[in-house]
């Protein structure tokens, strides 16, 4: 790796403004007499005085500081230092010639209650200085990896890494795994650029620490993202070079606070594992933003007093037996929880920043299998199972998706701890496969903005613009993450290419061709050569093409000259005269949901769109209000239609795009044609028992919720008597309140013991069957064998399944199973109900 690049990224992680902080009148532990204690405002934020009432030391474990070294003669540090190593100059001791490592050491282990300087969080400890960085803060990943490995091999239990780089490294990833396998806890800073979490903090088993200000808000410079775990105070007063003391700030100062807290609790519980200490710190953090984990502050702000006084929980996410109790987790981290037994279900949700794939891997008793049900943000349900060490992928769309976990063995009665790792892969962009120039994706010769990804190793994206008219082109390449160092190449076919890489990680690159002529122009987008791994992030390629354009659809100024539009095909046009009008015509052959979209509208231009029927009677109108697009949509009967476009001012340097798209409707829905449940859906829709969504979709494969299922049954069986209900999560203004009150009166459904109803909780296949059975006044039968291979005789719904199966009202799968705990889809519910209704 380029040493210069590494220096820039490393220094960015631990330099900052020197801010002098005072805190008068603060009460700390009475026995601490260090004169600068009142300047250590961070200790008040993390409640160290209460923590010191429990313990002040850990001399049985070693904390390694992989950094610029430590001032070995500093009077406030020397008693707590043990032998380290200098990886830069092996013949010399690990003396600090920068100051950063000395700052970190003081936070962790400046001797406390010695009437000198500051107090470290640990008054007595064992700190191992490992010099892996040069005097100017530069270094390389090889030395960083050597430093971690040296610490692990020489007895350290905690390693502090107040440094970072944007590049993923397979080498460092292996080193991190080496430490995890040997039960060593790694704690790292997220970085200080207001961007994404840096490595090594971003690896799944490293405790990633961001920074908060004195008022408990995330510092805007603190890096955030999918991998953050907790935050700690950004500003500190600590030891400096020359035996001095100074103010410092940054996530580099936050990370050692978490490492010291880990040492305090681990010293009192030496039998615990590193992953349990990691989870304990998450468990006792103070929520700052949304409840549970979030991408800004992780699990919250470090609370050392709570860490030392609150008992460790095998499952900090309970209660999460239902979807409405689902707990937030990172889509890219390793966490730990437990099943209370085979009947326990654990619900989680995660927010995907882009479309892509989330991979799930379990560490669990090798004799156990975990059933996984994933509900995508789009509503699609996927069911899979995984054993110990097995990785299973799930496609996700941008937004919130839910995961339900349960042991396959429902009869298991003991507690089953598990760890699971979630990792995210960004989507393959729609321009692939375009990794070679001869495979270049052809873009239209107009101004446009596209988004792409580096979803695979050595990804390179080529684009071709076939220019037909002379003009100029300006190309701008930007990215939403510093993990991408964008490189831009521009070339006219047959001529020498120009490569643009003037900026650093995450910095926008641009290039202008002041004069272009007819012919093909190529653009290549890559990440810098050293960064050849897949990246979680997107780049944006903006092409500004200015040319004297000609409208290919003219003449179409009159309705009888209207350009015939093929559905699903884009049409480009201009309104280049003050009185210009563009007419288009399209035909719908059957009842359909139609969207008419005008996009790529130049800035400061308003386009007026008017829709007419075949007799030229006005039906609707729309205006973009200076946005770059507008649309009309709705249900269209078969026939011919016209679209008329005008503008507030002429333009000739950029073409607008018109697209008319049509989806035929079946039973009023655009997404059920050919679906196995189509007939039942149409039949119950016609009877006004079920309905779809506002965009003319039914979403047949989406899990049905308790509220939806109750409403359908209430309408199907014409329930009209209401019972007074009072659920803590259901207000009288809820859309399904009346239906639920009717179903409760009829004994079809009831709430949970905690006085909640869970209206958005998915219904399982067994619950679906039970709800229908109650609606039909069926109580089940005791005799006969269980009708499905996965239903035990003592299963609570066995009698109902016997009766419903015998009467032909329910069926199972081809393998003889019923899968009672699998979420029921909207189509399954409708199919079951349709079979029971006359």
List, in sequence order, every residue forming a beta bridge with 337; answer none if it has no partner. Answer: 418
Radius of gyration of the chain (CA): 32
The CA distance from 355 to 430, in Å, is 12
Query: Which of 138, 173, 222, 252 is the catalytic position?
Result: 252
Q: What is the pLDDT of residue 229?
A: 98
Count CA within 13 A, CB hemisphere, residue 627.
10
Closest Cα to residue 441, out of 451, 453, 456, 430?
430
Quick check: is 343 catalytic?
no
CA 703, CA 380: separation in Å to the nearest integer? 7
Q: Which of 22, 140, 48 is nearest to 88 (CA)?
A: 140
The residues of the chain scoring below 50 in pLDDT are 1-30
Choosing from 13, 34, 49, 67, which is the catalytic residue? 67
Residue 31: per-residue pLDDT: 62
Per DSSP, the three-state class of 513 is strand
Paired sense of beta strands 471-479 and 509-516, if any: antiparallel
- Between helices 706-716 and 765-775, what is the axis angle to 10°? 20
Name the region of 430 (left: φ>0; alpha: ψ -120 to 50; beta: rest). alpha
pLDDT tens-digit readout, 259-306: 999 999 999 999 999 999 999 999 999 999 778 999 999 999 999 999
CA 601-607-609 angle, 5° bins: 120
What is the maximum alpha-carbon separation in the chain?
A: 95
Q: What is residue 9's predicted lDDT score, i.e. its pLDDT?
A: 36
Q: What's the pLDDT at 339?
A: 97
User: Which CA distances in Å does 830 have to 450, 680, 716, 809?
Assistant: 41, 6, 11, 12
3-class state of residue 702 by DSSP: coil
Q: 13, 76, 100, 376: which one is catalytic?
A: 100
Contacts of 617 (CB under 8 A, 6+ apart): none
Percent composition of the chain: helix, strand, coil (DSSP 3-state, to 5):
20, 30, 50
777 φψ region: left (φ > 0), alpha (ψ -120 to 50), beta (else): left
- The answer to whether 297 and 314 have CB atoms below 8 angstroms apart is no
Cα–Cα distance, 314 to 96 (Å, whole number): 41
Query: What is the C-alpha separation between 619 and 410, in angstroms, rounded?
Result: 59
**What pLDDT shows up at residue 140?**
86
Nearest CA among 331, 294, 491, 318 for reference residue 421 = 331
Q: Give the number of C-alpha atoms closer than 13 A to the C-alpha of residue 565, restricted to the C-beta side.
A: 29
Residue 292 backbone zone (phi > 0: left; psi -120 to 50: alpha; other: beta) = left
In whole angstroms, what is the distance from residue 103 CA to residue 236 CA? 9
* Buried residues in 53-80 as b, exposed as e (16+ CB within 10 A): eeebbbeebbbbbbbbbbbbebebbeeb
The confidence score (pLDDT) of residue 447 equals: 86
Side-chain-side CA neighbours of residue 327 (13 Å): 19
Residue with tokens 């209430």: 714
Contact 351, 408 (CB under 8 A): no
Q: Would you put residue 658 in left (φ > 0), alpha (ψ -120 to 50) or beta?
A: beta
Asked if the bond preceding 319 is cis, omega within 30° of 0, the reply is: yes
Q: Which CATH architecture group holds 3-309?
A: 3-Layer(aba) Sandwich (3.40)
d(CA 26, CA 37): 9
The C-alpha atoms of residue 710 and residue 708 are separated, in whole angstroms, by 5
d(CA 88, CA 91): 9
Question: What whole-number distance in Å separates Cα of residue 459 and Cα of residue 174?
Answer: 23
3-state secondary structure 206-269: CEEEEEECCCCCECCCCCECCCCCEEEECEEEEECHHHCEEEEECHHHHHHHHHHHHHHHHHHC
The phi, psi pair for 144, rounded to 5°, reads: -60, -45
Residue 75: predicted pLDDT:
97
- For 796, the token pair is 């609570």
Token pair in block for residue 738: 């009346």
Q: How far is CA 28 from the centre of its chain?
A: 40
- Whether 670 is catalytic is no
Task: Please list, in sequence order, all residues whose beta carbon lies within 8 angstroms of the beta carbon of residue 207, skipping any fewer than 6 positions away.
Answer: 185, 186, 187, 188, 201, 229, 230, 258, 262, 278, 281
Question: Does the domain made of 559-664 have the CATH classification 3.30.590.10?
Answer: no
**How far is the C-alpha of 40 from the C-alpha of 36, rounded, in Å?**
7
Active site (annotated) includes residue 732: no
Say what the alpha-carbon torsion angle 369, 371, 377, 381 is, to the nearest 10 degrees: 140
Out of 3.40.640.10, 2.60.120.380, 3.30.413.10, 3.30.43.10, which CATH number does the structure's domain 437-546 have?
Answer: 2.60.120.380
Of the candidates 232, 159, 236, 172, the one whose C-alpha atom is nearest the C-alpha of residue 198 is 172
Closest C-alpha to 111, from 31, 187, 22: 31
Residues contacting 838, CB < 8 A, separation 6+: none
Report residue 192 as tokens: 């200080």
Any idea which residue has 């410079």 for tokens? Answer: 221
CA distances from residue 249 to 18, 97, 99, 167, 188 in whole angstroms, order as listed: 7, 19, 13, 24, 15
DSSP state of 312: P
Tell me what pLDDT residue 549 has.
Answer: 77
Interhelix angle 826-836/765-775, nearest 10 degrees? 30
């Amino acid at each position: 790796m380029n040493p210069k690049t590494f220096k820039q990224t490393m220094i960015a992680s631990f330099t900052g403004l020197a801010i002098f902080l005072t805190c008068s009148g603060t009460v700390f532990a009475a026995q601490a007499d260090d004169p600068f204690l009142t300047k250590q405002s961070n200790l008040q934020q993390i409640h160290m005085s209460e923590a010191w009432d429990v313990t002040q030391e850990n001399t049985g474990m070693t904390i390694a500081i992989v950094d610029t070294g430590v001032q070995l003669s500093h009077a406030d540090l020397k008693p707590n230092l043990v032998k380290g190593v200098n990886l830069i100059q092996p013949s010399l001791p690990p003396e600090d010639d920068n100051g950063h490592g000395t700052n970190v050491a003081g936070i962790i282990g400046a001797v406390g209650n010695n009437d000198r300087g500051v107090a470290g969080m640990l008054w007595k400890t064992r700190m191992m200085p490992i010099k892996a960085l040069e005097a100017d803060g530069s270094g390389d990943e090889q030395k960083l990896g050597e430093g971690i490995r040296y610490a692990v091999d020489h007895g350290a239990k905690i390693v502090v890494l107040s440094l970072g780089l944007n590049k993923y490294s397979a080498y460092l990833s292996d080193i991190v795994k080496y430490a995890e396998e040997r039960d060593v806890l790694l704690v790292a800073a997220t970085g200080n650029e207001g961007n994404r979490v840096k490595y090594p903090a971003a690896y799944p088993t490293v405790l990633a620490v961001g920074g908060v200000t004195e008022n408990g808000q995330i510092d805007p410079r603190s890096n955030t993202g999918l991998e953050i775990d907790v935050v700690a105070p950004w500003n500190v007063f600590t030891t400096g070079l020359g035996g001095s003391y100074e103010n410092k700030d940054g996530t580099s100062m936050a990370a050692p606070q978490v490492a010291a807290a880990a040492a305090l609790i681990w010293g009192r519980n030496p039998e615990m594992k590193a992953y349990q200490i990691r989870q304990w710190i998450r468990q006792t953090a103070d929520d700052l933003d949304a409840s549970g984990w979030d991408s800004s502050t992780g699990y919250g702000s470090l609370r050392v007093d709570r860490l030392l006084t609150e008992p460790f929980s095998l499952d900090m996410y309970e209660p999460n037996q239902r979807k409405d109790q689902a707990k937030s987790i990172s889509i890219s981290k390793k966490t730990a929880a437990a099943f209370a037994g085979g009947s326990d279900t654990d619900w989680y949700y995660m927010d995907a920043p882009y479309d892509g794939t989330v991979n799930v891997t379990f560490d669990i008793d090798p004799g156990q299998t975990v059933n996984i049900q994933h509900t995508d943000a789009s509503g699609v349900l996927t069911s899979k199972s995984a054993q110990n060490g097995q990785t299973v992928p799930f496609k996700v769309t941008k937004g919130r998706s839910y995961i339900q976990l349960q042991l396959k063995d429902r009869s298991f009665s003991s507690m089953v701890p598990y760890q699971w790792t979630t990792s995210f892969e960004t989507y393959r962009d729609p321009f692939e496969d375009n990794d070679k120039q001869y495979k270049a994706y052809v873009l239209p010769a107009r101004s446009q903005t596209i988004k792409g990804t580096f979803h695979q190793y050595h990804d390179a994206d080529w684009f071709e613009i076939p220019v037909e008219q002379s003009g100029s082109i300006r190309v701008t390449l930007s990215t939403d993450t510093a993990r991408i160092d964008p490189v831009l190449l521009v070339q006219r076919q047959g001529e020498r290419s120009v490569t643009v890489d003037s900026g650093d990680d995450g910095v926008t690159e641009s290039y202008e061709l002041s004069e272009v002529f007819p012919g093909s122009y190529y653009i290549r987008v890559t990440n810098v050569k050293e960064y050849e791994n897949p990246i979680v992030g997107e780049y944006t390629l903006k092409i500004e093409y200015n040319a004297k354009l000609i409208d290919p659809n003219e003449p179409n100024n009159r309705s009888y000259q209207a350009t015939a539009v093929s559905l699903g095909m884009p049409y480009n046009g201009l309104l280049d005269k003050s009185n210009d009008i563009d007419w288009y015509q399209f035909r719908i052959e059957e009842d359909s949901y139609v969207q008419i979209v005008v996009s790529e509208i130049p800035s400061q231009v308003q386009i007026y769109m008017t829709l007419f029927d075949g007799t030229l009677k006005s039906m609707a109108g729309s205006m973009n209000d200076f946005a770059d697009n507008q649309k009309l949509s709705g249900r269209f009967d078969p026939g011919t239609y016209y679209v008329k476009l005008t503008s507030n001012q002429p333009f000739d340097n950029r073409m607008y795009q018109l697209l008319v798209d049509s989806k035929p409707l079946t039973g009023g829905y655009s997404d059920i044609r050919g679906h196995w449940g189509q007939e039942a859906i149409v039949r119950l829709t016609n009877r006004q028992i079920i309905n779809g969504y506002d965009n003319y979709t039914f979403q047949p494969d989406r899990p049905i919720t308790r509220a939806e299922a109750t409403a359908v049954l209430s309408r199907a069986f014409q329930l009209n008597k209401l019972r007074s209900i009072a659920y803590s999560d259901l207000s009288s203004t809820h859309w399904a309140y009346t239906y639920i009150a009717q179903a409760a009166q009829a004994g079809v459904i009831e709430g949970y013991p905690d006085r909640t109803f869970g209206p958005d909780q998915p219904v399982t296949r067994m619950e679906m069957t039970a709800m229908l059975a109650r609606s039909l006044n069926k109580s089940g039968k005791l005799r006969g064998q269980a009708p499905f291979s996965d239903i035990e005789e003592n299963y609570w719904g066995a009698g109902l399944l016997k009766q419903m199966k015998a009467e032909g009202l329910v069926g199972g799968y081809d393998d003889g199973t019923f899968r009672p705990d699998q979420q029921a889809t909207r189509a399954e519910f409708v199919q079951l109900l349709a079979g029971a209704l006359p």
